[in-house]
Structure 1
Amino acid sequence: MLVDYHTHHERCGHAVGRLEEYVRAARERGLKEIGLSDHQPVLHIRPEDLLPEVAMPLEELPLYVQEALALKEKYRGEIEVKVGLEADWVAGYGEQVRALLAQYPFDYVIGSVHFLGDWDHTDSRQLAGWETRDVLTTYEEYFEQIRAAAASGLFDTIGHIDVIKRFGYKPERSWEHLLEETVVAVRDAGVCVEVNASGLRYPCAEQFPSKRMLEMMHSHRVPLTIGSDAHKPEHVGLGLDTVVALLREVGYREVYGFTGRERYAIGI
Structure 2
Amino acid sequence: MKIDYHTHHVRCGHAVGTLEEYVKQGVAIGLDQLGLSDHMPLLHVDPATYYPEMAMAMEELPRYVEEAFSLKEKYKGQIDIRVGLEGDYIEGSEEAIERIVKAYPWDYVIGSVHFLGTWDISDFRQTHEWEGKDKLAVYEQYYDAVQKACATGFYDYIGHIDVIKRFGFKPDADVTHLEDAALAAVKANNLAIELNASGLRMPVAEMFPSRRMLENALALGIPLTIGSDAHQPERLGQYLDEARMVLKEVGFTQLATYEGRKRIMVDF
**TM bucket, shorter chain:** over 0.9
Amino acid at match of 1:107: D
How many angstroms apart in 1 are the aligned matches of 2:58 and 2:113? 19
How many angstroms apart in 2 are the aligned matches of 1:180 and 1:46? 34
The residue that corresponds to 1:228 in the other structure is 228
Amino acid at match of 2:201: R
> Residue by residue, what CA displacement relative to the aligned partner does 1:134-166 show, whole Å, maximum 9, x if unpaired?
111100100000011011100001010000000
The residue that corresponds to 2:128 in the other structure is 128
Partner SS state of residue 257, structure 1? strand
- Map 1:1-268 onto structure 2 (within 5 A): 2-268=2-268
With normalisation by structure 1, the TM-score equals 0.99
Q: Once the 2 structures are TM-superposed, how far is the Cα of residue 56 of structure 1 from its aligned partner? A: 0.3
Moved more, 42-51 or 19-28: 42-51
How many angstroms apart in 2 are the aligned matches of 1:20 and 1:237? 16
Q: Mind listing any 5+ residue stretches in structure 2 that lack a counterpart?
A: none
How many angstroms apart in 1 are the aligned matches of 2:249 and 2:152? 31
Partner SS state of residue 102, structure 1? helix
Q: Once the 2 structures are TM-superposed, how far is the Cα of residue 16 of structure 1 from its aligned partner? A: 0.3
Partner SS state of residue 47, structure 1? coil
Partner SS state of residue 52, structure 1? coil
Partner SS state of residue 263, structure 1? strand
How many angstroms apart in 2 are the aligned matches of 1:121 and 1:141? 11
Amino acid at match of 1:249: E
> Residue by residue, what CA displacement relative to the aligned partner does 1:20-57 show, whole Å, maximum 9, x if unpaired?
00011111110100000000001011222321100000
How many angstroms apart in 2 are the aligned matches of 1:152 and 1:134? 28
How many angstroms apart in 2 are the aligned matches of 1:9 and 1:180? 32
Amino acid at match of 2:102: A
Partner SS state of residue 103, structure 2? coil
How many angstroms apart in 2 are the aligned matches of 1:47 and 1:210? 33
The number of aligned residues is 268
Amino acid at match of 1:105: P
> Residue by residue, what CA displacement relative to the aligned partner does 1:197-241 show, whole Å, maximum 9, x if unpaired?
000000111110000000110110001110000000000000111
How many angstroms apart in 2 are the aligned matches of 1:46 and 1:233? 29
With normalisation by structure 2, the TM-score equals 0.99
How many angstroms apart in 1 are the aligned matches of 2:50 and 2:260? 32
Q: Once the 2 structures are TM-superposed, how far is the Cα of residue 180 of structure 1 from its aligned partner? A: 1.2
How many angstroms apart in 2 are the aligned matches of 1:218 and 1:21? 35
